[in-house]
Amino acid sequence: MNIGVIGVNHNSAPISVREKVSFTDTKKIEAINSLLDKDISEIVILSTCNRSEIYVRCENIQEKINLLANFYEDFFDEKEIKNYLFSKIGRDAVSHIFEVTAGLDSIVLGEDQILGQVKKAHEFAMQLGSSKKVFNKLFREAVTTAKEIKTTTKISEQPLSISYIGVKLLKEKIGCLQNKNALIIGYGKMSRLTMTYLQEERIGNIYLANRSHGKVSNISDQFQNVIPIQYDERYEVLQNVDIVVSATAAPHTVLKLDKMPTLNHRIYMMDIALPRDIDPNINTLDHVVVYDIDDLKKIHDENDVKRNELAGIGYQIIHEKIDEFIEWLESANIDPTIKSLNEKCLEIKEDSLEYLFRKLNLDVREQKLVDRMMESALKRLIREPIVKLKQVKDKGKRDEYIKLIEELFEV
């Protein structure tokens, strides 16, 4: 099975490494176009805050995985990246994409966000023409299976999102969040979830800074204690808050060390973005404690046990779906032979009809009837061998039969 994956994720590399090899859409286009020129048939790049992974289908898969390791190093100009790369080929690679899509390979077991991210990564690859028959089948099956797992197990209903764990960590460190004030930077899904969880903790005021201020100007309609501020005011308001949570899609830090004011009270900062929003050096300041995504891996919630039990059901579903995909993939190898047989039948039919119509004085209706009868007869001739061929489970035996058919029919 010529399918493989290589990259870094939260299991193989710390955040300081992952953020250096993050793919923007522009970089995805550049990378995919470059790799298609290296005899790689299909490519999907999945880049999120916790992973940067390249999925490929090609001949000589192990050779190409080695090539991709060098590609990562050269493309991002990171000489040490090879120390953190993981790779899988064959069934292990297929299993990986199923597990990733279902949220079973995430920091937060069973989280929802990755499903949409995988779907978007696949759609992006299809638009570039780098996901074709096999990967279209693989990724669609992975998405469908992930939805089945979530519906069957309800695993995502256990409140374990990044935002939830972030708020849980802050509460653990501070003791009580009631009447504390917070600054939220960014207005994406994670930020909105964070505000919801903070509300449940009876937080005081929440100052909300977003680069596009118009998007948050009417936020008070949804949250009574949220105060929208201009993005440039984010440093000024630090004097009034106890908590900072930043979750933007910015490619650079949004809180910089040299712009930080002198603080006389303790502030806890939670950076749940990648690349990181908050300069890690801010952690060296007095009265400031900065946490990032990797710190969330250290938090264990009481729902972990339940989620792991549900994950076991998910793995069983995935195992069955992978068997079905591999069976489909192996049967797809028969397609060229079937196509050749059909073309051979068409060639015989056309040659025969040309001779018959020359010798017989048939009208148009009679010619169409003869045409259909001959086509039907030829298809009957090859239908049974094709059906039998598809039923053969043993790959070695099937390959022998394919070779025999090709030799006998000269296709």
d(CA 396, CA 233): 68
d(CA 252, CA 393): 53
d(CA 72, CA 78): 8
Residues annotated within the binding site for substrate are: 48-51, 106, 111-113, 117
Cα angle 26, 31, 37 (rounded to 5 degrees) comes to 135
Contact between 284 and 29 under an 8 Å Cβ cutoff? The reply is no
Residue type, 282: I
CA distance to 95, 239, 248, 287, 384, per residue, from 211 (Å):
39, 20, 9, 27, 65
Q: Count of alpha carbons within 13 Å of 177, Cβ hemisphere only?
A: 23
Rg of the Cα trace of the chain?
Answer: 29
Task: Please indicate whether residue 58 is annotated as part of the active site.
Answer: no
Residues annotated within the binding site are: 48-51, 106, 111-113, 117, 186-191
Q: What are phi and psi of 209, to 5 degrees?
A: -115, 125
Bridge partners (DSSP) of residue 42 are 57
- 373's CB contacts (< 8 A; 6+ apart) are none
Q: Kindly tell me the burial class for residue 383, based on how many C-beta atoms sit within 10 Å of its own C-beta (0-12, 13-18, 19 or more).
A: exposed
Residues annotated within the binding site for NADP(+) are: 186-191
Tokens of 80: 């040490």
Looking at 49, 58, 176, 345, which residue is catalytic?
49
* H or E element that contains 274: none
Q: Count of alpha carbons within 13 Å of 7, Cβ hemisphere only?
A: 25
Residue the block writes with tokens 């990032």: 292
Contact between 279 and 256 under an 8 Å Cβ cutoff? The reply is yes
Residues with a known catalytic role: 49
